[in-house]
Structure 1
Amino acid sequence: MPRLFTALEIPRDAALSLSLLRGGLPGARWLDVENYHITLRFIGDVDGPTADEVVNALDRVDRPSFSLSLSGIGSFGAKKPHSIWAGVSACSELMALQAEIERICQRIGLAPDTRRFSPHVTLARLRHARVSDVVSYLSGRGDFRTESFDVGRFVVMSARDSVGGGPYLVEEAYPLGWRNSVPSLSSSAWQPSRSN
């Protein structure tokens, strides 16, 4: 059974900026740069028919493309840190996209995701990292920020069992804004010429 999730891919320039944050933290297992992503909705381990239903249902998403930037870094697990992440600057289009994906997943019968959506890019998984080391690492990198980048699609990815995250494979891609870029058939450009 594949373990699926929807995500935004991180473009090369932003991924390169993120990769410069690697190192300097004992107990960190850094994710490979090609595995950086922003999870929109974790779907989980599903059977083939359910995976097909998810893939087909997500084709209904009709959202515009948008711009996004990454800013700041932090950790999950205050008393026992377990991961390091880069934050995502506030973006209403991102929140609307995630909410639409969540609604579609629930409509086809998947259980609601009870966690509050907190967009981020996981950079490292921590194992036996000391809180003081994590605090020291984060304090020197809090002003991290990427240039803005365009988001023109979201994807369904699958995860293979591994230690520390990845490899992740793109199973399906969905363009954003494409419905608005296709001229309607009622447009004058599509009207046949009249010959008398």
Structure 2
Amino acid sequence: MPRLFTGIEIPAEVGLQLSTYRGGLPGARWIDPQNYHITLRFLGDIDERMAEDVLSVLGESRRRDPVNVTLDSLDTFGGSKPRTVFARAVATNGINDLQAEQERLVRRVGLPPEKRKFTPHVTLARLRDASPIDVADYFATRGHFRKLIFTARRFVLFSSRDSVGGGPYVVEAAYPLG
């Protein structure tokens, strides 16, 4: 049973720049730069038949324009119990429309609706027992985040092994944008 999700790949040169934010945070498990991505729709552990349906329906995507992506800041999920450090992507119409279309397509083949609000981001680290003070210190020492901009010319269907996240991820299919 594959664990699948759709996403936007991060170009190697952008990943290299993001990787400079690795380190200096106790309790962080840093994601390898080659596994950086923006998740559009987590599909989860699905059976082979559903995976084939998803593969097929994503090919019906009408979104054909490339998507401009801007990463503009570092942030964290988890509030007083931080669990993730990430680079925030600006929620443009292009990214939001692409994600909404994928949501509609995968629901059409029978997957339940996504319950979480879509927040486009690139996970840099997963945190375990990191204190809010350590996270605040980490952000304070990182200085100004220089915007990173790229154009996504495709979205992909990724698979991953059953784990706590972080890869390795495999591109199962690619769908052009533009």
TM-score by length of 2: 0.95
> How far is 1:62 from its partner?
1.7
Question: What corresponds to 1:39 in structure 2?
Answer: 39
Aligned residue identity for 1:171: E
8 Å contact kept, 1:73–1:142: no
Q: Which has the higher strand share?
A: 2
Aligned residue identity for 2:83: H
Give matches, 1:95-114, under 5 Å: 95-114=96-115
Structure 1, unpaired ranges of 5+: 178-196
2 CA distance for matches of 1:82 and 1:147? 23
1 CA distance for matches of 2:102 and 2:115? 14
8 Å contact kept, 1:73–1:141: no
> How far is 1:129 from its partner?
0.9
8 Å contact kept, 2:87–2:123: yes
Aligned residues: 177
For residue 136 of structure 2, give the secondary structure of its aligned residue in structure 1. helix
TM-score by length of 1: 0.87
1 CA distance for matches of 2:172 and 2:30? 24
Give matches, 1:157-176, under 5 Å: 157-176=158-177
Q: Identity of aligned pairs, percent?
A: 53
Question: What corresponds to 1:65 in structure 2?
Answer: 66
Pair 1:83–1:2, CA change in 2 (3 A): same
For residue 60 of structure 1, give the secondary structure of its aligned residue in structure 2. coil
2 CA distance for matches of 1:151 and 1:16? 17
- Structure 1 residue 26 corresponds to structure 2 residue 41: no
Question: What corresponds to 1:151 in structure 2?
Answer: 152
1 CA distance for matches of 2:9 and 2:132? 30
2 CA distance for matches of 1:24 and 1:66? 33
> How far is 1:45 from its partner?
0.3
Structure 2, unpaired ranges of 5+: none
Question: What corresponds to 2:94 in structure 1?
Answer: 93
8 Å contact kept, 2:75–2:87: yes
Question: What corresponds to 1:128 in structure 2?
Answer: 129
2 CA distance for matches of 1:145 and 1:71? 7
8 Å contact kept, 2:72–2:148: no
For residue 99 of structure 1, give the secondary structure of its aligned residue in structure 2. helix
Across the aligned residues of Structure 1 and Structure 2, the Cα RMSD in angstroms comes to: 1.2
- Structure 1 residue 48 corresponds to structure 2 residue 57: no
